[in-house]
A and B are shown apart, each in its own frame.
Chain A
Amino acid sequence: MNTLIGLLAVVLIFIIVFQLAKASDLMGILKGEKEGENTEGANKTQGLLLMIFMIVGLIGVVVGWLIYEPQLLQGGWSFVPASMHGVEINSSFWITTVVCGIVFFITQAILFWFAYKYRGREGHKAQHFSHDNKLEIIWTVIPAIVLTVLVARGIETWYDITSEAPEGARIVEVTAQQFNWTVRYPGADAVLGQREFELISGENALGINWGDVKSQDDLMPSEIVLEKGVPVLFKLGAKDVLHSFYLTHFMVKMDCVPGIPTQFWMTPTVSTQEMRDHRNNQEFDYELACAELCGRAHWNMRYVVKVLEPAEYKSWVASQTPFYENVKASLAPPADAIPAGADSTVTVPVEGDTTKPSIGEKESDTNVISSL
């Protein structure tokens, strides 16, 4: 019923506006408006309206910025992001914003000002002005120089961020699937055990080869826990479709691609507790989100990330038991047998066998994966 009334109201408004517009055009014709021409009055009205739009609009942009900028991220882009490289992204952002902001205000103001100032008036003639090579050169060279600076800075920062992870960076493997994440830590040996996608089953979500000794100390916690100040290398993958590993506050984003390992390293600099205090919100948690459309529940892949102080981190690690302990019992016969659900032709590699690289060992080539 409400819908019907709403629709009727819209139709009624349409009819009224339409009739008024028809009358207004007719009036113009009766007043002797020349076909194709605008009267001086019409030009003035339109010119003024454009000026009002420009002035109100530019003020709106400033006010909007003042209101919303402090709310962006964790207290505005001026706040130090929770990761080391985030600071660099941040300063690039500010440089770009200042440059673009200046250009934006000047060009918009001139555009609308000219439209108003040079509106058609009686007795006023346009000036034929077809080209000026000097002007053209000026506004080719200046943008070129400014952009060169932005490109140079952008690329420099980009190389910093995408450089090799430092020695001793902690490895955290994150595997995406519809519609959640599975996390694996390499355990005490700092090496992830082997995985095969053919081994994936209901019990073995990642297709871990339990026969590989390196996998037997791997941890599979239900949240991502990081140590403040220690570089971490995320090794990313996906089981079914594309996903994207996205940590807003750390300014980390990298797609998870089935069949092609990707990675991203960063150093968290603000612990969860520090961020809670800063935001006056003890409920706050860093959240991992998916940033690549992956199906009907793409929006629902929340996963908590915690950054702990070094001492807390140590005790957290100590409290974890390798995932192998949970599944050992169900893996019969024990020791180096073929895992449940696996194809019997898959040979179980012994320790040190590197003929078949697994995701955990592809470190060196992930950087050059571009497929083309």
Chain B
Amino acid sequence: MAELHNPAIEVHHDDHAHAHDHHGHDDHGHHELNFIEKYIFSQDHKVIGKQFLILGMAWAIVGGLFSIFFRLQLAWPDESFPILEWFLGGWAEGGKLSADFYYALVTMHGTILVFFVLTAGLSGTFSNFLIPLQIGARDMASPAMNMGSFWFFVLSSIVMFVSLVIQTGPAAGGWTAYPPLSALPQASQGSGLGMDLWLISIALFIISVALGGLNYVTTIINMRTKGMDFFRMPLTIWAFFFTAIIGLLSFPVLFGAAILLEFDRLLGTSFFLSDIYVAGEALHHSGGSPILFQHLFWFLGHPEVYIIILPAMGIVSEVMAVHSRKPIFGYKAMVFSILGITILSFIVWAHHMFVTGLNPFVASIFVLFTLLIAVPSAIKVFNWITTLWRGSIRLNPAMLFAIGFVSLFISGGLTGIYLGNATLDIQLHDTYFVVAHFHIVMGLAAFYGMFAGIYHWFPKMFGRYLNSTLGYIHFYVTLVGSYAIFWPMHYIGMSGVPRRYFDFTVFNQFNQYADLNKFITVAAIVVFFVNLLFVINFFYSIFKGRKVTVQNPWGATTLEWTAPINPGHGNWEGDIPAVYRWPYDYSINGRDFIPQTEKLGPNESEDHDIGSDTPKPTEKVPGENLH
């Protein structure tokens, strides 16, 4: 058909048609898919993005609920809660959580939130949904691999879920799974079958990340539409691009660590074990190093926090520009600070290990790089704040969450300056100060980025709006609640109270914060419920929300808003739009915004910091590379 000039599209279209052995080779977009092809084993990046989001939300509810369970124990260690027995059965006999299961809950809360919610649910959702739509592609480079990425996540989820219901319970050695505890079933109930399943689940998850990441990188490099050169990409795409690269380089290291740990467990090797006497027996393991595992773990584990936070940063940058009606301030500085963070993220991992007996000189190098990361982070914060300056800000739920993100990123980022300093880390390491720090800076901030993204792109995802009154309630209760939960933890941590304690009453020195602990738990429960309200709003609005009737309701410049309100597989009905300008032409030339698809006027030059490397409109079609 006439619309298929772009060879890349043709290739894709043909693949698609063959894959389903369909006769209608030519009628792009009119090719009937049955329910399973369309919603379950879909190869449409938009559907896959939504699948990641919904599975991520399901896990968020499970992980959130777990945190409520163990917060009840911390606030009221002597009370019993029948509801716990109802949920957890023998693990909470008489409504009292067992210590074994407390640690299982803590471990699962961390694992679920870090990997399943904030990696799969955040990067998986928005990379999938936005990359093709914002760079002007019909789909990912390999839609089949993309579908595989989601289904490996499902497999991983199933294995992890099974571990929750087996008799010995799930892994209980912390989400970091440090050996020897995680390697020795004699040392902890959770180190039995639960740990094997944890390792298998994580291995499957890493395959999912790799399949997704390869697709994101390939798609961004090869499938940009005509005129979409790198410095015309929205910051969301830059963020997803670097996130995928970090994931591809760091997750395989965890894969290796997981396999070696399983060898130690199953085959009796000694990668991480040495000189151990446990359960009345001296083990044969010799020469291994538990510290080696920590190096391998944090070589992923630290970049992982940037895998979580970069997509949120990208989303926030985009949402802020659109709703301030202003270009993001310092576009290029934003790109280079993401690049700086990406590079530095690989050389700071040992700041998690200052008190493991690490050589003090090595530690000091890690102090230097760690605190260096504060520089690109500070640039980003100042640029966001300046983006607001002299804007005409639309304070809708998406924008509020973006502002909340910046507030939390400041609060949590500053405490990183304490913890990155090895001297202070001696006292603060493994205390509630750390819990407060990382929950605010990567947990909550990433959630806020995710919420900003959901409120902003929900109309594009489902052709309807979320209820905005519920959105406001959701935002304010969550904002106040976030600080109410985690701010007091700084005080608790500064006085040295260690994390991962089942009960503080044994120690006189840790037992003075009973009131704060109750306060925190109540706040956590409120926040949990208000987020359930958000989930209800989400599903209700998919079916009953106010319908979107204009193509570009926010007045945004980017390409996804040039697609139909409910885009089919292939995204655009006619030609893929070409791009002639950067994505941040807001409030310029007397106009509210100029879409990327509009040609530069005769007297117009690209007015921003792109400078002289601005491509000419005679750019080649990136898709040609595929042939």
A239 at the interface (CB under 8 A from B): yes
Binds B, one of A107-115, A184-192, A217-225, A308-316: A107-115
Q: Provided the pairs A14-B533, A73-B496, A128-B586 are in contact, do residues A118 and B83 lie with their beta carbons within 8 angstroms? A: no
Provide the residues of chain B in CB contact with A155, threshold 8 Å: 364, 367-368, 422
Binds A, one of B21-29, B149-157, B412-420: B412-420
A interface size (C-beta, 8 A): 133
Whether A89 and B424, one on each chain, are in contact in the complex, defined by CB atoms closer than 8 angstroms, is yes
Binds B, one of A165-173, A279-287, A325-333: A279-287
Whether B99 and A297, one on each chain, are in contact in the complex, defined by CB atoms closer than 8 angstroms, is yes
B625 at the interface (CB under 8 A from A): no
B483 at the interface (CB under 8 A from A): yes
Q: Provided the pairs A3-B83, A72-B491, A131-B608 are in contact, do residues A147 and B282 lie with their beta carbons within 8 angstroms? A: no
- A235, chain B: closest CB distance, angstroms: 11
Whether B392 and A118, one on each chain, are in contact in the complex, defined by CB atoms closer than 8 angstroms, is yes
Provide the residues of chain A in CB contact with B289, threshold 8 Å: 259-260, 371
Whether B469 and A21, one on each chain, are in contact in the complex, defined by CB atoms closer than 8 angstroms, is yes
A253 at the interface (CB under 8 A from B): yes
Could you say which of A77, A198, A252 contacts B494, with CB atoms under 8 Å apart? A77
Q: Provided the pairs A114-B388, A302-B507 are in contact, do residues A262 and B357 lie with their beta carbons within 8 angstroms? A: yes
Whether A115 and B469, one on each chain, are in contact in the complex, defined by CB atoms closer than 8 angstroms, is no
Q: List which A334-370 residues lie within 8 A (CB) of chain B.
A: 366-370
Interface string of A126-165 (1 = CB under 8 A from B): 1111111101100110011001001100110111011000
Binds A, one of B58-66, B251-259, B300-308, B323-331: B323-331
Whether B394 and A120, one on each chain, are in contact in the complex, defined by CB atoms closer than 8 angstroms, is yes
Whether A370 and B469, one on each chain, are in contact in the complex, defined by CB atoms closer than 8 angstroms, is no
Whether B414 and A104, one on each chain, are in contact in the complex, defined by CB atoms closer than 8 angstroms, is yes
Identity of the chain A residue whose Cβ is nearest the Cβ of B497 in the assembled complex: A248
Provide the residues of chain A in CB contact with B362, threshold 8 Å: 370
Assembled-state Cα–Cα distance A42/B400 (Å): 12
Assembled-state Cα–Cα distance A268/B503 (Å): 28
Q: List which A264-283 residues lie within 8 A (CB) of chain B.
A: 283
- A265, chain B: closest CB distance, angstroms: 12
Q: Provided the pairs A43-B393, A200-B277, A258-B275 are in contact, do residues A372 and B470 lie with their beta carbons within 8 angstroms? A: no
A119 at the interface (CB under 8 A from B): yes
Whether B290 and A260, one on each chain, are in contact in the complex, defined by CB atoms closer than 8 angstroms, is yes
Provide the residues of chain B in CB contact with A178, threshold 8 Å: 187, 278
Identity of the chain B residue whose Cβ is nearest the Cβ of A252 in the assembled complex: B426
Identity of the chain B residue whose Cβ is nearest the Cβ of A1 in the assembled complex: B82
- B121, chain A: closest CB distance, angstroms: 23
Could you say which of B178, B275, B371 contacts A150, with CB atoms under 8 Å apart? B371
Whether A111 and B364, one on each chain, are in contact in the complex, defined by CB atoms closer than 8 angstroms, is no
Identity of the chain A residue whose Cβ is nearest the Cβ of B421 in the assembled complex: A154
A29 at the interface (CB under 8 A from B): yes
- A170, chain B: closest CB distance, angstroms: 20
Whether A125 and B508, one on each chain, are in contact in the complex, defined by CB atoms closer than 8 angstroms, is no
Could you say which of A18, A147, A260, A372 contacts B533, with CB atoms under 8 Å apart? A18
Identity of the chain B residue whose Cβ is nearest the Cβ of A300 in the assembled complex: B506
Whether A36 and B550, one on each chain, are in contact in the complex, defined by CB atoms closer than 8 angstroms, is yes
Q: Provided the pairs A18-B470, A118-B391, A291-B430 are in contact, do residues A240 and B184 lie with their beta carbons within 8 angstroms? A: yes
Provide the residues of chain B in CB contact with A36, threshold 8 Å: 459, 550, 552-555
B194 at the interface (CB under 8 A from A): no
Provide the residues of chain A in CB contact with B249, threshold 8 Å: none
- A27, chain B: closest CB distance, angstroms: 9
Q: Provided the pairs A139-B382, A154-B423 are in contact, do residues A127 and B395 lie with their beta carbons within 8 angstroms? A: no
Assembled-state Cα–Cα distance A198/B274 (Å): 11
Could you say which of A10, A89, A125, A197 contacts B277, with CB atoms under 8 Å apart? A197
Interface string of B561-601 (1 = CB under 8 A from A): 00000000000000000000000101110000000000000
A22 at the interface (CB under 8 A from B): yes
Whether B393 and A144, one on each chain, are in contact in the complex, defined by CB atoms closer than 8 angstroms, is no
Could you say which of B359, B553, B608 contacts A367, with CB atoms under 8 Å apart? B359
Binds A, one of B2-10, B198-206, B373-381, B613-621: B373-381
A321 at the interface (CB under 8 A from B): no
Identity of the chain B residue whose Cβ is nearest the Cβ of A281 in the assembled complex: B508
Provide the residues of chain B in CB contact with A154, threshold 8 Å: 367, 371, 421-424
Could you say which of B394, B496, B586 contacts A38, with CB atoms under 8 Å apart? B394
Assembled-state Cα–Cα distance A249/B529 (Å): 39
Assembled-state Cα–Cα distance A72/B325 (Å): 46
Provide the residues of chain B in CB contact with A143, threshold 8 Å: 374-375, 378
Identity of the chain B residue whose Cβ is nearest the Cβ of A110 in the assembled complex: B385
Whether A129 and B326, one on each chain, are in contact in the complex, defined by CB atoms closer than 8 angstroms, is yes
Whether A200 and B282, one on each chain, are in contact in the complex, defined by CB atoms closer than 8 angstroms, is yes
A231 at the interface (CB under 8 A from B): no
B347 at the interface (CB under 8 A from A): no
Whether A257 and B389, one on each chain, are in contact in the complex, defined by CB atoms closer than 8 angstroms, is no
Assembled-state Cα–Cα distance A107/B476 (Å): 20
**Which 4 A/B pairs are nearest by Cβ-Cβ distance?**
A36-B553, A259-B274, A262-B357, A46-B395
B residues at A contact (CB < 8 Å): 82-83, 86, 99-100, 103, 172-174, 178-181, 184, 187-189, 273-278, 280, 282, 286-292, 295, 324-327, 329-333, 355-360, 362-364, 367-368, 371-372, 374-375, 378-379, 381-386, 388-396, 400, 403, 406-407, 410-411, 414-415, 417-418, 421-424, 426-427, 429-431, 459, 465, 467-470, 472-473, 476, 479-480, 483, 487-488, 491, 494-496, 498, 500-504, 506-510, 512, 529, 532-533, 536-537, 540, 546, 548-550, 552-555, 584, 586-588, 607-609
Q: Could you list 10 further interchain pairs (A-B, Cβ under 8 angstroms) beyond the known A118-B324, A118-B389, A124-B392?
A: A64-B487, A71-B495, A111-B406, A126-B587, A136-B383, A143-B374, A244-B355, A263-B357, A292-B430, A302-B507
Residue pairs across A and B with Cβ atoms less than 8 A apart, 21 shown, are A14-B529, A24-B469, A25-B469, A77-B494, A92-B423, A93-B424, A100-B417, A111-B403, A135-B330, A144-B375, A151-B368, A158-B364, A161-B426, A248-B427, A260-B357, A294-B181, A295-B187, A298-B103, A299-B99, A371-B295, A372-B291
